[in-house]
Structure 1
């Protein structure tokens, strides 16, 4: 499955590179390959956008009905059967499927893993012509070759960590369960540190992909939060 999806997504990267490289003179400090990583990531995120928006709506709705769920759990704590019936009635009333969020994640997970593999091994999935990838210009401003780790910790590793933190922070739902909020806040600090440590040793191209992906998600989430906030005000 990974190889199949990797070949499809690799073809996307290769075609994006072909289009960009045919548009004019390549900038000395901003290679076509770096541009292709950013543009391909944006296209990939747009393709997944319908599922991501559905997942955001599902998370928001869960946060909204959380107080009522807690009330049902407290009221029928000694009657599990009635508790289950009441919870199902609540889900039906609010048109909410508790399994929808997990299902969307399960669908996206192999696609995301395959896309990550494309940037980890671009010569295998995208640029398969012998010698083509090796001869390609891979500069990105201060980075001479995106195949190598960023030589500066304040560069892509730090930006990757910061965008990961911002993305996690804006995902916290005010109405969510306090325990879930506490877990999320812990992840807000733990995950960026993990990403920073990983980005120090990974190819800079992977860090660039991660930053582009995070930036898209942050913008998407901010727009989504604002739109859902307006809907609440109208109600």
Structure 2
């Protein structure tokens, strides 16, 4: 599956690169390849936008019904059958499917893995002609070669960690009223703190092209989430 999707996404990267490389002259500190990575990432995120919106909607609804779920769980904790019936009624009232939050992730996961493979081995999936990938410039601002890790920790590794943290914060639903110590919320809070550190140390060793893709993807998702949050607040006010 990864190889199949990798060839498709690699073809997209190569197609974008071929178009960009015919426009004007290549800047000394901003290679055609870096431009192709940025444009391809944006196209990729736009392709996944409907799935991401569904996931965002599911997360928002879950945040709204959590207090009511807590009431049902407390009220019927000794009667599991009635609790299940009441939960189903609540889901139906809000037109919410508990599986709807997981489905987008399951769909995206193999695609994201394949995209990682493309940026980890561009010569295998995109620039397949012998020696072609070695000849092209891979400069991106302060990074001399996107094949190598960013030489500065304050560069893409820090940006990757910071955008991961902000994205996690924006996508985490608020705790249910009176339930701030809920184990699920505590786990989510721990992951919000732990994951950026994991991404930071990973980005130190990743090819900078892969870290650039991660940062751009996060920024895209953050903007999408901010727009979605504002729309939700406006809808509730109306």
Q: TM-score range by the shorter chain?
A: over 0.9
Asked whether the 8 Å contact 1:149–1:203 carries over to 2, the reply is yes
Partner of 1:196: 200
Partner of 2:66: 66
Partner of 1:100: 100
TM-score, L = length of structure 2:
0.95
User: Which 10-residue stretch deviates more, 107-116 or 185-194?
Assistant: 185-194
- Structure 1 residues 189-230: Cα deviation after superposition (integer angstroms, max 9, x where no partner): 211111111111111111111111111011111011001110
Q: Distance in 1 between matches of 2:174 and 2:69?
A: 16
Moved over 4 A (4+): none
Write the mapping of 1:1-235 to structure 2, written as runs, cut at 5 A: 1-176=1-176, 178=180, 179=182, 180-234=184-238
Aligned residues: 234
Q: Distance in 1 between matches of 2:205 and 2:144?
A: 16
Displacement, 1:39? 0.7
Displacement, 1:101? 1.0
Displacement, 1:185? 2.1
Asked whether the 8 Å contact 1:6–1:117 carries over to 2, the reply is yes
Q: Distance in 2 between matches of 1:10 and 1:61?
A: 36
Asked whether the 8 Å contact 1:167–1:218 carries over to 2, the reply is yes
Asked whether the 8 Å contact 1:55–1:101 carries over to 2, the reply is yes
Asked whether the 8 Å contact 1:51–1:104 carries over to 2, the reply is yes
Asked whether the 8 Å contact 1:64–1:175 carries over to 2, the reply is no
* Unaligned residue ranges in structure 1 (runs of 5+): none
Q: Distance in 2 between matches of 1:220 and 1:121?
A: 29
Q: Distance in 2 between matches of 1:217 and 1:9?
A: 19
- Structure 1 residues 65-111: Cα deviation after superposition (integer angstroms, max 9, x where no partner): 11111111111111111111111111111110001111111111111
TM-score, L = length of structure 1:
0.96
CA RMSD, 1 decimal: 1.1
User: Which 10-residue stretch deviates more, 21-30 or 173-182?
Assistant: 173-182
Displacement, 1:175? 4.5
Displacement, 1:171? 1.6
